[in-house]
Amino acid sequence: MDTFEVLSQLVTLSGGPGDEGLIAARYQTLCEPYIQAFYTDSVGNCIGVANGEGAARPRVMLAAHMDEICLMVQAIEPGGFLRVIGIGGFDPRTLLGQEVTVHGTQAYSGIIGSKPPHLQAPEEREEAVPLKDIFLDLGMAEARVREVISLGDRVTLRRDPVRLINQRVAAKALDNRASVTAMLLALNELSHIRHNADVYAVATIQEEIGCKGAQTAAYGILPDLAIALDVCHGEMPGVESDLVQKVGGGPVISFGPHLHPKLFERLKTVATEQNIPYQIEVTQGATYTDADPIQIVQAGIPTALISIPLRYMHTSVETASLDDIARVGRLLARVIASLDAAFVEGLSCY
């Protein structure tokens, strides 16, 4: 399985929160060669099941959200221009001049317009344009826009992935299709090695608006343990080094009060045994990832978090390392292969 090829298939598709259907279909196609069952739950989470061997088969849930931040049409203005609101955390300063896709009666190409500096008042040149003042231009007459675009239609950024040197890749929606790719790589590797656990590889919905899918999926699966996958901030100029991780430095294993210490230690041990470089991120509380709701489902689920370092999060040029993505996939597979009933039973004993 080629990491860049799989990642490219995922990031070129659009899938904002609540509108993940295109990604869901592609995820099913990509994971079916490596699983024994696939189903979609009532809210849209996509679950691929790779069965383990033996009588005692612990349930392991992997969770990587497939939604991306997007915009939503709030108003159609005279002249056919669109006003939008954000679904997820956009920095409006990154939006001006971007190409977008507006998902109306079909997918329509558009751009986010910007008032030229020649027409700006002096004070406007010193201020960021707020999202409420940003407008979209489809190049259509107003009457046509009103025929094909409705209030509530999603708007996604449009950007082809770019392969950079040193195994770097830049694209939109690497948050969190990079982790979905890593999960697929893990399923691929698991199909070639023995493992006791039944693996539920979940492409979750609506993480960007509150981790809705992970919570409902965990209730449905009730796993013995879970590993959430997401991205974290990669190093860049102007940011203190203790707030970021090194792109290309390997998987980032998180540790904090509600992340299970024995899973944390197992992840580190297996990474060392497999010569997989890794980094550690310390979190003092909420991780703002799918790990948070999974951990408190029913009587509690032992949960770990692995992240992929990512530069320029929530922009159209998010940048990550293909090596890091592949290493996360390999680490997942090898950790799962290391699990047995005794280890899982021991998770309840601190």
- Considering 20, 68, 189, 207, which one is annotated as catalytic? 207
Q: Is 290 annotated as a binding residue?
A: no
Is 292 annotated in a binding site? The answer is no
CA terminus-to-terminus distance, the chain = 38
Residue 39 pairs with which residues in a beta bridge? Answer: 47
Q: Confirm if 65 and 207 have CB atoms less than 8 A apart.
A: yes
How do 162-163 and 168-171 pair as beta strands? antiparallel
Read off φ and ψ for residue 311, nearest 5 degrees: -90, 150
Q: Which of 328, 182, 310 is nearest to 251 (CA)?
A: 328
Q: How far apart are CA 231 and CA 240, in angstroms?
A: 18
**Residue 238: how many other CB atoms lie within 10 Å:** 4
175 is in an annotated binding site: yes
230 assigned binding-site residue? yes
Judge contact between 67 and 224, C-beta under 8 A. no
Question: Is 99 in the active site?
Answer: no
CA distance 5 to 326: 12
Cα–Cα distance, 134 to 17 (Å, whole number): 21
Please indicate if the annotation marks 195 as binding a ligand. Answer: no
Per-position DSSP letters for 318-335, written without gaps between them: EEEEHHHHHHHHHHHHHH
Q: Which residues are annotated as a binding site for Zn(2+)?
A: 65, 175, 208, 230, 314
- Name the binding residues: 65, 175, 208, 230, 314
- Catalytic sites, residue numbers: 207
